[in-house]
A and B are shown apart, each in its own frame.
Chain A
Amino acid sequence: MIELYHIWKQYQKPHWALSDITLKIRKGDFHFITGPSGSGKTTLLRIVYRELFPTLGQIIIDGRNTLRIPEHRIYKLRRIMGIVFQDFRLLFHRRVFDNVGTVLQVLGTPQKEIRRKVFNALRMVNLQHKMWEYPSRLSYGEQQRVAIARAVVNNPKIILADEPTGNLDPELAFEIMGLFKEINKQGTTIIVATHDRELIRHFGYKILFLQKGKLIGKEGF
């Protein structure tokens, strides 16, 4: 489903944020990416959803070389993905409902269906009571859950989650991971970047270790 071939990424000379990453993630897999802060987890995910181009290397997703997709058609790639950004990236002057609903709105989904799906997604993250709030009036943990609801609302083929539980208490973190587990069981490919060792150990999926941009180890394969 996701294949990376010799990905190198350099923001500024002489540091390499990623060096020679090659990996294959099969459809329906659940991967954790872990490693110390600054090891390149976010960079790797941003390259996968093509917010960034790698300096070197190739990426095949769903059989397509994503680096060759022209800018005006990249939205098609994004539509098969649900992304939880480390910095959430919510629309701050739109209500929670609209933030989650945007994903469906861009597809031209009928209003009634949007309501139903958004409500369901918000219920999964226990936020249905904040549906009509603005994100700026939510706690970080709540904002993070809005971001998660937005990522799962349209049953994407792939979920990329960057520290999705970073601001949540352990119980809620486990609940959210449980949610991902359920979604994964239905065949969705999931990649979660996290520092949370306990979470990783508890769920025991495949693990990729990054350090200073290098893939230094794999576990559970």
Chain B
Amino acid sequence: MIAVFFLSKDTSQKELNSVEQTLKKFHLVTNVRFISSEQALKKFKVDFPELRQIIDNLKINPFPSSLEVSLSEKALTSNEILGFIDEMRNMKGVEDVQFNRDWVEKMQSFSKLTKAIGLFLGGILILASFFIISNVIKLSVFARKDEIEILRLVGASNTFIKTPFLLEGIVLGICGGSLSLLFLFLLVKIFPFYLGSSLGVLNELINFRYLTLSQSLSLVGGGAFIGFSGSLSSLSRFLKI
């Protein structure tokens, strides 16, 4: 995404530098390119040769110089970008900003919506896996009821009896987490094949990518935790010890 900052005619070199520096410092800005009024004129002549005559007749150069600013993908969904642009608009030397404000606002609300849906689905899935694991452990406890009874009669403590089931839950959780990582991997690999370039700007927004290492680890760790607590809840209900 690109925002263009038009500079006023009487902008001094110093003001230009300060505008450019401020832009470059902002973390969502990836690149700043200065386009002088001469360059703009040249480009116009190349792009619209039929209008060349008119421009030549004008004798003066009507194009202001400008700074073409590339914004990172994150800018679309960032809360800071609109405020930043407004701030820049008021800076000395900046005449006007060309920036698709509507588009950004729509994208931001769309992104909030998808996040909310994601959280909702995620919450449901977490609950579902919790109950599934606690049911698996419940079956496992019932299947080994006699054995547990015998162990208790020969002096096994609760910890001794519970530990294998807790481990089972943790292993289930870790397996679930790792499997979902695998599916995500396949999805990210395969999905773009089907949609191809038709995704267009949506691709930029949805931004198909793998999870980072720390995200992957917390997915697997979260799985382990859900497995542990699912198992624990099942044990406290059905072991009655």
Interface residues of A (CB under 8 A from B): 49, 51, 71-72, 74-76, 78-79, 81, 83, 85, 89-91, 102-103, 106-107, 150
A102 to B152, CA, bound (A): 11
Tell whether A83 pairs with B147 under 8 Å between CB atoms, given A71-B240, A72-B158, A106-B160.
Answer: no
Q: Within the complex, which residue of A72, A81, A91 is in contact with B150, where a contact is CB–CB below 8 Å? A: A91
Q: Within the complex, which residue of B147, B155, B240 is in contact with A106, where a contact is CB–CB below 8 Å? A: B155
B153 at interface by CB-CB < 8 Å: yes
Q: Which residues of chain A have C-beta atoms less than 8 A from B155's C-beta?
A: 75-76, 78-79, 81, 103, 106-107
Known pairs A81-B155, A83-B153, A106-B156 / 17 extra A-B pairs, C-beta < 8 Å: A51-B153, A72-B241, A75-B155, A75-B156, A76-B155, A78-B153, A78-B155, A89-B149, A91-B147, A102-B151, A102-B156, A103-B155, A106-B155, A106-B157, A106-B160, A107-B155, A150-B154
Q: Is A106's CB under 8 angstroms from B150's CB?
A: no
Q: Closest residue to B158 on the A side, CB-wise?
A: A72
**Nearest chain A CB to B155 CB, angstrom units:** 4
**Nearest chain A CB to B208 CB, angstrom units:** 48
What is the total number of residues of chain B having a CB less than 8 Å from a CB of chain A?
Answer: 14
A2 to B132, CA, bound (A): 46
Q: Which residues of chain B have C-beta atoms less than 8 A from A85's C-beta?
A: 153
Q: Closest residue to B157 on the A side, CB-wise?
A: A75
A85 to B152, CA, bound (A): 13
A84 to B149, CA, bound (A): 15
A106 to B241, CA, bound (A): 16
Q: Closest residue to B152 on the A side, CB-wise?
A: A75
Chief secondary structure at chain B's binding surface: helix
Tell whether A78 pairs with B150 under 8 Å between CB atoms, given A72-B158, A72-B241, A106-B157.
Answer: no
A83 to B153, CA, bound (A): 8
Q: Which residues of chain B have C-beta atoms less than 8 A from A74's C-beta?
A: 152
A40 to B149, CA, bound (A): 22
Interface residues of B (CB under 8 A from A): 147, 149-158, 160, 240-241
Q: Is A106's CB under 8 angstroms from B154's CB?
A: yes
In order of increasing CB-CB distance, the 10 nearest A-B pairs are A79-B155, A78-B155, A106-B156, A75-B157, A89-B150, A103-B154, A75-B155, A106-B160, A72-B158, A106-B155
Q: Closest residue to B156 on the A side, CB-wise?
A: A106
Q: Is A106's CB under 8 angstroms from B151's CB?
A: yes
Q: Which residues of chain A have C-beta atoms less than 8 A from B158's C-beta?
A: 72, 75
Could you give 17 example pairs across A and B, Cβ below 8 Å?
A49-B153, A51-B153, A71-B240, A71-B241, A72-B241, A75-B152, A75-B155, A75-B158, A78-B154, A83-B154, A90-B150, A91-B147, A91-B150, A102-B154, A106-B151, A106-B155, A150-B154
A150 to B152, CA, bound (A): 14
A152 to B158, CA, bound (A): 23
Q: Which residues of chain A have C-beta atoms less than 8 A from B154's C-beta?
A: 78, 83, 102-103, 106, 150
Q: Which residues of chain A have C-beta atoms less than 8 A from B160's C-beta?
A: 106
Q: Which residues of chain A have C-beta atoms less than 8 A from B241's C-beta?
A: 71-72
A106 to B148, CA, bound (A): 12
Q: Which residues of chain B have C-beta atoms less than 8 A from A72's C-beta?
A: 158, 241
A72 to B154, CA, bound (A): 14
A28 to B147, CA, bound (A): 31
Q: Which residues of chain A have C-beta atoms less than 8 A from B150's C-beta?
A: 89-91
Q: Which residues of chain A have C-beta atoms less than 8 A from B156's C-beta?
A: 75, 102, 106
Q: Which residues of chain A have C-beta atoms less than 8 A from B240's C-beta?
A: 71
Q: Which residues of chain B have C-beta atoms less than 8 A from A106's C-beta?
A: 151, 154-157, 160
Q: Closest residue to A46 on the B side, CB-wise?
A: B153
A76 to B152, CA, bound (A): 10
Most buried by B among A85, A103, A106: A106
Most buried by A among B150, B155, B240, B241: B155
Q: Which residues of chain B have C-beta atoms less than 8 A from A103's C-beta?
A: 154-155
A107 to B150, CA, bound (A): 15
Most buried by B among A49, A76, A78, A81: A78
